[in-house]
Structure 1
Amino acid sequence: MKKYLLFFTFPCFFLFPMMFVYQSSLFGSPQSLTEENDYGTMGPVSFKKRSLKSCESLVSQMNTSIPTLLIDVEFLQMLEKGSCETCTGRPIKIGVDVKHLSATWILEDPRFEVLYFTNESAKDYLDFRSDPRKIIPKKFPTRWVGNVEVPNNIKMFVGFWQRAKFAECLNLHIPRAGAKVRMPARPSSAVLARLRDELIENEMFPFLNGGTLLGWYRECSVIPHTQDMDISVFAEDYNSGFVEEMERNDSSFMIRRKFGMTNDSFELTLAPKDGFRVFIDVFLMYPGIENGTVTHHWVGGVSPDGTKYKYTYPVYDPWCAADLHGHIFWVTCTPNEKIVKEYGKLWYLDHLTSKYSWNSSGKNVKRNGKWTKEQMKEVYKVFK
């Protein structure tokens, strides 16, 4: 028996080396699949084999000697799903701070498509030198994989990037001899930015509307004689958890008024608990649907007697970003169209707030029914 076992085992010592040589001739040596570039990281060869790598290993292979920000939306979405098999050999988009402009070698790295950005301390956004220009909030959670900064909340970051196209304001000179300043621009913009951040934390993307949109577009500022600020949130994005936070006293804002229902003419008037006191109206914006198609958008209002009002706009497109005294806010990409609809062809002329009626002066407002006395107990609440 030992004799036969010896004859069977002996050829195997030759068989295994022969198999290894044969495999190497077909697939190449292991080193040929993991060549390194000049920066000590995996080069283009390994990127062609992404389907064999985990998402995390792909991120680690993007490491360089300078800090980078991973901004490639397609890759981030695959990273969130934990499925990077479909990632092709295309360059991955990364952001690089302009303070690293001298590191020109990164522009030659075939792994990357580089977008430089500025990060000014006086502004709360990153400003990308892209075409078109893009800006995104600088405040979002990240983690580091070597020198690669990766957004933690990918859904939030994708929302930022989808709304990043920069929109310019006109900076018109508006003569206002003797007009009283009720709303100082810088402190009121700072408070509005605080509210923006809390809404973002609650997975809502607010955008400028009404007089605040007009002030930004017309004069790159806040209308000084206005009595409040206006922002909107799409009704389908509304998160009631934010109101619950304020009711639990877990927010830096408090509710002063709450009108309507979440499915009809909902409006909040908020004020900060500390700092500069400014009232901010937050409107839910609803889609106007005709024959199954969204043909317009609208926000609502209600008077003390229960009369409802409807402010209609062309289909809203708040996918652009603007600067208001160093703060990023989202705005419609077609501001002139929306402003003409609401304020008419003479929108570039100043109209004193004291002479502007909220429920009749607008060109886009009309009555929209009336709440009953019983309904008013629920839909019209004013808090001290």
Structure 2
Amino acid sequence: MDFEAIVNVSNLIGLPVITLDSHILNKIDQDFPIPRAKLSPRCLTCSTSKPITLAVEFKRVNLIKENAFLNKVTEIGFSTIVLYNKTPREPVPDQEILPIAYVFKRRISIVLTLFHEREGNFWWHGDVFSDPESEIKLQTLGLSAKDVTNLEHEGAFDKFEVISRQLPGFPSPITVPSNVPAFVHDLRQSHFKECSWSRAHHYEKKYGSTRKTPEGRWFAHRAWKLLARAKTLLDGLDVPFWISSGTCLGYFRQCDIIPHAKDVDIGIFATDYKKQIVPAFVARGMALKHHFGRLNDSLELSFLDISSGVKLDLFFFYEGREGENRRKMGKSSAYGKKILWNGGTQAKTGKKFKYTFPHFTLCWTEFLALKVRIPCNTLEYILANYGPDWAIPISTWDWKSSPPNVSPNGEWPQSEWPEVIRVYYPELQIAKTQHKI
């Protein structure tokens, strides 16, 4: 069987491949262990017409092993092509041309994806369209780009543990993720988008480096440390987040932090809120600065990093429909497209504000050497929040009136202020501590 043959060859030369094919993984996870008679190499692949997906860490593939592997695969009757990352959609500075996959074909097709380690300590793989000759190469195997679904976009994975399983009917063990359900979940959300270094270079050439002052360098370093700590805490709580507002603008425009922003902004879906967030952040040296709104309406948390004085804002996002506000105010309006929105509260007046975004999904990127999420359609997100002049730096910004997507959203009744407008003053405590020192 073709799948068995590739696994045998890889094990023979000491290059064990990881089985990532969701069809096979789901079948193994559901059926293993089962009687020998019910599971065979053919059974694992008999009901799929798509190419089987495998992977291997690129750092394990040296020239000797690569040649031995590809030669042996050819000897046993497979046709082979190699896809390269020659023309990526967003080139990375100083990145060499990398192989991104080996594709084999005998009776069935097998795609061996190459995982490359990134600075953020995660695995990345390229997409089929980064090889300008991919369609011609694939046609020699009777395939097209749409058949190689696992390479339809760049992907990113946290490094995961693998285990070896000896399946009935297989002479060699196969290597699979140790937590199959978790991997299959991550596979569906693995879409990666590279920061546009060409856009960042153009911005720097026109407006100068974002880190040309000592203050800019200091803030960028502190912001990176704060974002890294927030990532560790939220990942530990299994709370998905993305970089939002000014932090997302800096990423999209400059591939960097905006030095005069003075804070770090994060977006979280309200449905992912967990009550452990506040105590977890406080325990790691971040004092709660304010707590606005409530879970079902305009929740916003702000923390102050005790060590640096840099602020971290957590904005919670809600699903809605265009035209909701007009209907709430008694004006006739049909519900329109799905939207996402987050709220804002003015502490001294109780006024509420609403920031509306086109509905979006999340993708991965690498920012400040961290694997973090961004809205997949980042430009649409930026345009909503900053308008068509987003590429021009400005020094003044009023959160209540400057964003083009902001609108009034009523007021909190004064009777509710003790619950929905909670303001703390950690700066005073920091000042007292520094004065004592």
Determine which of 265, 274, 299 is the counterpart of 1:230.
265
- Out of 114, 117, 125, which is 2:115 matched to? 117
Mapped contact 1:62–1:148 kept (Cα < 8 A): no
In structure 2, relative to structure 1, the CA distance for the partners of 1:135 and 1:195 (3 Å cut) is: farther
Deviation at 1:263, TM superposition (A): 0.8
Contact 2:19/2:174 (8 A) holds in 1: no
What's the counterpart of residue 363 of structure 1? 404
1:98 aligned residue (58, 79, 82): 58
Aligned pair in 2 of structure 1 residues 139, 201: CA closer, same or farther (>3 Å)?
farther
Residue type at the aligned position of 2:251: W
Q: Quick one: structure 1 residues 260 and 224, their matched pair in 2 at CA, closer, same or farther if it must change by over 3 Å? A: same
> Tell me, what secondary structure is at the counterpart of 1:165?
coil
Count of residues in correspondence between the two structures: 326
1:92 is matched by which residue type in structure 2?
A: I
Q: Which residue of 2 aligns with 1:128?
A: 125
User: Conserved in 2, the CA contact under 8 Å of 1:140 and 1:153?
Assistant: no
Find out whether 1:184 has 2:219 as its counterpart.
yes
Q: What is the one-letter code of the residue matched to 1:335?
A: T
> Which segment drifts farther, 237-246 or 174-183?
174-183
Q: How far apart are residue 186 of structure 1 and its match?
A: 4.4
The alignment status of 1:165 with 2:192, answered yes or no, reads yes
Going from structure 1 to structure 2, the CA distance change for 1:207 and 1:222 (only over 3 Å counts) comes to same
Q: Is the 8 A contact 1:234 1:285 kept in 2?
A: yes
User: Which one-letter code corresponds to 2:402 in the other structure?
Assistant: S
In structure 1, the partner of 2:385 is 342
Deviates more, 1:305-314 or 1:71-80: 71-80
How far did 1:220 drift? 0.8
CA distance in structure 1 between the partners assigned to 2:178 and 2:358 by the alignment? 34
C-alpha separation in 1, matches of 2:111 and 2:346: 54
Residue-by-residue CA offset, 1:1-53 (whole Å, 9 max, x unaligned): xxxxxxxxxxxxxxxxxxxxxxxxxxxxxxxx9x9748648xxxxxxxxxxxx
Q: Write the distance in 2 (CA, Å) between the matches of 1:299 and 1:38.
A: 50
- Aligned equivalent of 1:279, options 311, 323, 343: 311
Deviations 1:286-329 (A, max 9, x none): 111356775211111111121111111111222x2222122222
What TM-score do you get using the length of structure 2 for normalisation?
Answer: 0.64
Structure 1 stretches of at least 4 aligned residues deviating more than 6 Å after TM superposition: 61-64, 83-87
Evaluate the alpha carbon distance shift between residue 70 and residue 238 of structure 1 in structure 2; reply closer, same or farther with a 3 A threshold: farther
Instruction: Map 1:275-354 to 2 at 5 A.
Output: 278-289=310-321, 295-304=338-347, 305-318=349-362, 320-352=363-395
Q: CA deviation at 1:348?
A: 0.6
Deviation digits for residues 114-167 of structure 1, max 9, x if unmatched?
Answer: 1112114x3232121333452424355554546725152733662365142324
What is the distance in 1 between the residues matched to 2:44 and 2:6? 27
Secondary structure of the 1:184 match is helix
- Compared with structure 1, are the counterparts of its residues 335 and 329 closer, same or farther at alpha carbon in structure 2 (3 Å cutoff)? same
The answer to whether the Cα contact below 8 Å between 1:136 and 1:161 also exists between their aligned partners in 2 is no
Matched-pair contact (CA < 8 Å) for 2:220–2:259: yes
1:63-101 residue CA offsets vs partner (Å, 9 max, x unmatched): 983243443344445555558988635553222122315
Q: Are positions 1:268 and 2:311 aligned together?
A: no
CA contact (8 A) 1:299 1:311 kept: yes
1:138 aligns with 2:158: yes
Corresponding position of 1:15: none
Q: What corresponds to 1:4 in structure 2?
A: none
Query: Is the 2:191–2:364 contact (alpha carbons within 8 Å) kept by the matching residues of 1?
Result: yes
Distance in 2 (alpha carbons) for counterparts of 1:137 and 1:277: 33
Q: Find the counterpart in structure 1 of residue 179 from structure 2.
A: 152
Task: Tell me what 1:212 maps to.
Answer: 247
Tell me: CA distance 1:82–1:190, structure 2 relative to 1, closer, same or farther (3 Å).
farther
- Aligned residue for 1:348, secondary structure, equals coil
Query: Do the aligned partners of 2:305 and 2:312 also contact (CA within 8 Å) in 1?
Result: no
Q: Which runs of 5+ in 2 are unaligned?
A: 33-38, 74-101, 129-151, 166-172, 323-333, 427-437
1:52 alignment partner in structure 2: none
Provide the aligned C-alpha RMSD in A.
3.6
Q: 2:276 aligns with which of 233, 236, 241?
A: 241
2:288 match: 255
Identity percentage of aligned residues: 23
- Distance 1:239-1:111 versus aligned 2 partners, 3 A rule: farther
Unpaired segments ≥5 residues, structure 1: 1-32, 42-60
From the CA coordinates, give the structure whose radius of gyration is larger: 1
| 8 A Cα contact 1:185 1:224, kept in partner | yes
- TM, length-normalised to structure 1: 0.72
